[in-house]
Amino acid sequence: MQKELLAKHLRRYHHGAENAVISRELEHTFRVSGKELRDQVNALRRAGVPIASDQNGYFYAKTEAEVRLTIQHMRNRISGISAAITGLRHSLAAFDNTQIRLPLEGGDDS
């Protein structure tokens, strides 16, 4: 799937939050996996194309507010992932510290 085709499709048929489309419908339309669709949406967003999303699906943003809400949703996801990483780091203390630790590639323990 070419990301430009996805952008054109969203702009034409799913312009604004009221016309959001669920991921599965786009996957079916473009015959792609969910991962490939997410990768294409991410590439479009990185290129500055205003592909927004909410609980109803993806859409081509019609307003600045729709873009801002999508940005806030993404920031909340980042915070959740960061909290999960912190929790996992804390869980490392439960493991036996007497185990042999091999240095990470490129680390200081050469």
pLDDT digits (tens, 9 = 90+) for 16-38: 999 999 999 999 999 999 999 99
pLDDT digits (tens, 9 = 90+) for 48-60: 999 999 999 999 9
Q: How many percent of the chain have pLDDT more than 70?
A: 88
User: Looking at residue 104, what is its pLDDT?
Assistant: 74
pTM metric for this prediction = 0.80
Distances (CA, A) of 70 to 24, 40, 75, 77, 96: 19, 16, 9, 11, 42
What's the structural domain count of the chain? 1
Asked if 57 and 21 count as a contact pair (C-beta separation under 8 A), the reply is yes
Residue 106 lies in a domain: no
Residue 110 lies in a domain: no
Range of the structural domain that residue 37 is part of: 3-92
Q: How many percent of the chain have pLDDT more than 90?
A: 81
